[in-house]
Structure 1
């Protein structure tokens, strides 16, 4: 993200708001204008873009770009900054989507247990034939087997699972 700092030494990456501090689901979302959407597009493509380059690309002052990025952080629109990882090159050559059927009204309990699951990358509560969609990255099939047959099956609220092995994957880059 921005490598520049304002005179006070602040950096938008420092101490991003905790989820409870950010605008929550009960608060109305502030509408985004074209400049906000352009800033989001730029930061999605390059989270390390400097304030100066963001400001130049959206044709606003550095102070304005800084204020807008901080507002997007404060409002919870930007949840954080991170790296896009090639899981195979990082030693996690096996990926799978795992669907789970869970006991009704147990989402919060199950979610907390899935968050600490080794290799868990994405968790979603969904509607349809199953309740939860979980993406995991593991070093190999043996580790995936351990996750599914030992770790997931040990969660009392999990009624059943189905594993979809990923043969190839690609993160879609923002257009622009």
Structure 2
């Protein structure tokens, strides 16, 4: 969906064609790359029992089809200096999602933004250095956004990333 300039965000690309069906080898490749995004083409090919050229072509197709959106590092936020994490729920003015999303993208420590249905409209995951920084983010930054009607902060005590089943 393309955004209008007054919505405060860049235009998004048009709808993508549907991804081609994934077979068992594609699923195995996805599981491997989720567990280790730095896996070499050679190691992927060996583990799924295809040639390197075939593995390379499959990974490229998965990227082109938008199945793989990118490669990145899984960060331990506490060790990276962001020891406080919280999920923040927001109720927003109706039809203001694009405007609010553009402003949330600019927040320091914002890690995940989701438009959801239910008792609130937006779920935001943030990582901050400490509780003081979290308080500042919520009270000075989030609640200053005119389209944000209310917030609720859920402090995260412990997390666990679920690894793909091999």
Q: TM-score by structure 2 length?
A: 0.90
Identify unmatched segments of 5+ residues in structure 1.
Answer: 1-18
CA–CA distance in structure 1, aligned partners of residues 128 and 137 of structure 2: 9
CA–CA distance in structure 1, aligned partners of residues 126 and 133 of structure 2: 10
CA–CA distance in structure 2, aligned partners of residues 41 and 71 of structure 1: 16
Structure 2 match to 1:119: 109
Matched residue count: 155
Structure 2 match to 1:53: 43
Q: Does residue 175 of structure 1 match 2:165?
A: yes
Identify unmatched segments of 5+ residues in structure 2.
Answer: 1-11
Question: 1:29 deviation in Å?
Answer: 2.5
CA–CA distance in structure 2, aligned partners of residues 28 and 46 of structure 1: 26
Question: 1:28 deviation in Å?
Answer: 2.0
RMSD over aligned CA atoms reads 1.1
For 1:73-88, what aligned pairs fall within 5 Å after superposition?
73-88=63-78
Structure 2 match to 1:9: none
Structure 2 match to 1:149: 139
CA–CA distance in structure 1, aligned partners of residues 99 and 127 of structure 2: 22
Give 3-state SS (helix, strand or coil) of 2:103's partner: helix
Q: Does residue 129 of structure 1 match 2:116?
A: no
Structure 1 match to 2:154: 164
CA–CA distance in structure 2, aligned partners of residues 31 and 169 of structure 1: 33
Question: 1:170 deviation in Å?
Answer: 1.1
Structure 2 match to 1:5: none
Question: 1:26 deviation in Å?
Answer: 5.0
Give 3-state SS (helix, strand or coil) of 1:145's partner: helix
Structure 2 match to 1:89: 79
The C-alpha deviation readout for 1:71-90, integer Å capped at 9, x for no partner, is 00001100000000110111
Structure 2 match to 1:38: 28
The C-alpha deviation readout for 1:96-141, integer Å capped at 9, x for no partner, is 0000000111111111110110000000000000000000000000
CA–CA distance in structure 2, aligned partners of residues 50 and 25 of structure 1: 31
Q: Does residue 110 of structure 1 match 2:100?
A: yes
Aligned 8 A contact 2:19 2:66 in 1? no
Give 4+ residue runs of structure 1 displaced > 6 Å after superposition.
none
